[in-house]
Structure 1
């Protein structure tokens, strides 16, 4: 097995203090590897980076059009949002149009990452609801598909028609038979594949024709970056920095994907240590390498060549990409 490749370095003064390593693959629209670091064949769980794939049956079944979902709902179906009002208000409206409420979710409650929303709940003496879960948009999509299919209430069961449809879509776009799944933080199954399979899937999204399910989903993400993640988040800020020309999606445990429609390329990467800062630094460096992200944009400089400060705001070090990525 090929060992992980260096991704990101932490320098403190003149000393190399830490090194993050990982695996990354860029595929073209034929599914072939353009560039790779580490082991393209490593088996991974893409976590929330696979939400666009999980949303495919929502469109291909006709459920999205029957429910008259717009680009905002499609972006939320692909989102790992902050639980801000801009997210929860839209998801609650979506649920109400289905004749459903928070109790129909199976994602579990989560304290919002958005500070204003979190403080508002505290001031009101209220507990977080399932709509605050960062995956509530995806689950609203599941519920929309479930209503269309007429399935039972436990739509996260791996044997449920909703999840069987997600697995079929996953295996089709990755070009692989999944070796299994893990249960994600939101209780839905998360199917495994090779890292190349995930990059191949993202390249397929990038090259998909206008009007296809894949194109509609990545277009919605690029049109509404604020709904895909939220203020201060890498997905949102980097998509804005690239003027909506590239779709980005993070996943837990150091995963990231990118969909580049103009170049018809797909990227998938996994930080071996599972840390967010390594994955964000690596995806920014690769996007700079490909010429689609300005290395001097403020959003870029928060993730690569980023100063590390202490509690007195003194610069003590720097986070920078490993040389092999540049």
Structure 2
């Protein structure tokens, strides 16, 4: 079996201190691998990188249009957001407009990642609620589908009609039978696939036309929603938001837990998937940024690259202590 390859290095004092190994695949719109590193057949959980796949039933079923979801809420349905006021307010208003209560969510509550919202909760002596969960937009979309299809309330159950619809869509766009699922941090099933299957799915989204089948139209709309509303997909200061802004709404990208990252590049009709073996996101961010440059989607002179690729580390006194570099000869 092909092994993971060195992808990102941490250097300190002239010595290689740490190494991140991983896998990456670039697929074209025919589903063919055009470049690969490591093992394209490595089976992974895509985690939150596949939220646009999980949102396909929401759009292709007509549920999104039935309640008039605008593009920014379609982007939010694919989000791993910060729990900022923007995100919390949007999810609250979305569900209250459908007379769906916060208690109907099944994602659970956690402290928001957004510092301003976290501090507001502390000052107000309030506890975080499920709206603050970084997956609450995805779950709002799932509840919208459930309401539209008159399905039962336990929409995260793997045997629920929604999860069966998601699995069908997932397997059809990856062009692989999923070997199984794990339960994600937000309690929803996360279906496994290969790195190449995930890249193939992203290429499907990249090539999906505005007209065509319901699935093509859904994929096209979700891609554009993400690319045009990156602040809803992640939040201020996040790699997804900053890199999508740097590409001016032309490309959609999405991170996932345990260092998975994907990109949808419509202009090139390409899909990209990255998995770092040790789960470190500093490496997946560096690799996805480098691959976006490689395929011509991101300007190599754009200043955002200095945050992720061949960047310098500094300590609390501002002294340069090391550097994070792409592995020699990789890209």
TM-score interval for Structure 1 and Structure 2 normalised by the shorter chain: over 0.9
Equivalence for 1:41: 41
Distance in 2, matches of 1:298 and 1:77, equals 29
TM-score between the two structures when normalised by the length of structure 1:
0.99
Deviations 1:125-175 (A, max 9, x none): 011000000000000000000001111111100000111111011011000
- 1:325, distance to aligned residue in structure 2 (A): 3.3
Moved more, 144-153 or 262-271: 144-153
Trace 1:1-326 onto structure 2 (pairs within 5 A).
1-211=1-211, 212-326=217-331
Distance in 2, matches of 1:241 and 1:315, equals 26
- 1:294, distance to aligned residue in structure 2 (A): 2.4
- 1:7, distance to aligned residue in structure 2 (A): 1.1
- 1:305, distance to aligned residue in structure 2 (A): 1.1
Instruction: Find the residue that maps to 1:273 and give its secondary structure.
Output: coil
- 1:242, distance to aligned residue in structure 2 (A): 1.0
Deviations 1:184-227 (A, max 9, x none): 00000000011111100000000000141000000000110111
Distance in 1, matches of 2:295 and 2:205, equals 18
Distance in 1, matches of 2:292 and 2:62, equals 34
Aligned length: 326
- 1:181, distance to aligned residue in structure 2 (A): 0.1
Distance in 2, matches of 1:69 and 1:46, equals 26
Runs of 4+ displaced beyond 3 Å: none
Distance in 2, matches of 1:98 and 1:72, equals 17
CA-atom RMSD in angstroms: 0.9
Deviations 1:96-153 (A, max 9, x none): 1110121010000011110000000000001100000000000000000000111111
- 1:321, distance to aligned residue in structure 2 (A): 1.1
Distance in 1, matches of 2:36 and 2:231, equals 30
Distance in 1, matches of 2:329 and 2:141, equals 39
- 1:244, distance to aligned residue in structure 2 (A): 1.5
Instruction: Find the residue that maps to 1:323 and give its secondary structure.
Output: coil
**What stretches of structure 2 of length at least 5 have no aligned partner?**
212-216
Distance in 1, matches of 2:48 and 2:299, equals 26
Aligned residues of 1:202 and 1:258 also touching (Cα < 8 A): yes
- 1:297, distance to aligned residue in structure 2 (A): 2.4
- 1:323, distance to aligned residue in structure 2 (A): 2.7
Distance in 1, matches of 2:166 and 2:40, equals 23
